[in-house]
Amino acid sequence: MRPRKIRNLTTRRENCTDLRIPYTLESFDFRTNDEHENFFDIEEIFGRKAPLVMEIGCGKGQFVCEYAKRNPDKNIIAVECVPTVLVEACEKVKEENIDNIRFLEMKAEYLPLFMREKTVCEIYLNFSTPYPKSRHESHRLTSKLFLDIYKKLLCDDGFIAQKTDSQCFFEYSLESFSQNGFVLSEISLDLHKSDFEGNIVTEYEQKFVNQGLPIYRLVAKIK
Ligand SMILES: C[S@@+](CC[C@H](N)C(=O)[O-])C[C@H]1O[C@@H](n2cnc3c(N)ncnc32)[C@H](O)[C@@H]1O
6 confidence band (pLDDT: 50, 70, 90)? confident
pLDDT of residue 148: 98
Instruction: Identify the CATH assignment for 47-222 out of 3.30.960.10, 3.40.50.150, 3.40.50.300, 1.10.260.40.
Output: 3.40.50.150
Q: Within 10 A of 3 (CB to CB), how many other CB atoms are there?
A: 10
Nearest one of 80, 140, 149 to 111, comparing CA atoms: 149
Ligand 1 atom nearest the C-alpha of 163 is: 8
| Domain ranges, ordered by start, for the chain | 47-222
Taking 80 as the threshold, does the pLDDT of residue 142 lie above it? yes
Cα 55 to ligand 1 centre (Å): 9
List pLDDT tens digits, range 117-130.
Answer: 999 999 999 999 99
pLDDT at 120: 98
Out of 21, 25, 56, mutate this one to test ligand 1's pocket (max ligand atoms within 8 Å of CB): namely 56
Please tell me the distance between residue 2's alpha carbon and the centre of ligand 1 in angstroms.
Answer: 10
The SS3 of residue 130 is coil
Q: Average per-residue pLDDT in the chain?
A: 95
95-115 average pLDDT score: 96
State pTM to two decimals: 0.95
Protein residues with CB under 6 Å of any ligand 1 atom: 1, 56-59, 63, 79-82, 85, 107-109, 126-129, 202-205
- How many angstroms does the Cα of residue 59 sit away from the middle of ligand 1? 5
The predicted pLDDT at position 29 comes to 73
Which among 190, 71, 85 is positioned nearest to 124, based on CA atoms?
Answer: 71
- Cα separation, 190 vs 177, in Å, equals 20
Could you write out the DSSP letters of every residue in 132-166?
-SGGGGGGSTTSHHHHHHHHHHEEEEEEEEEEES-
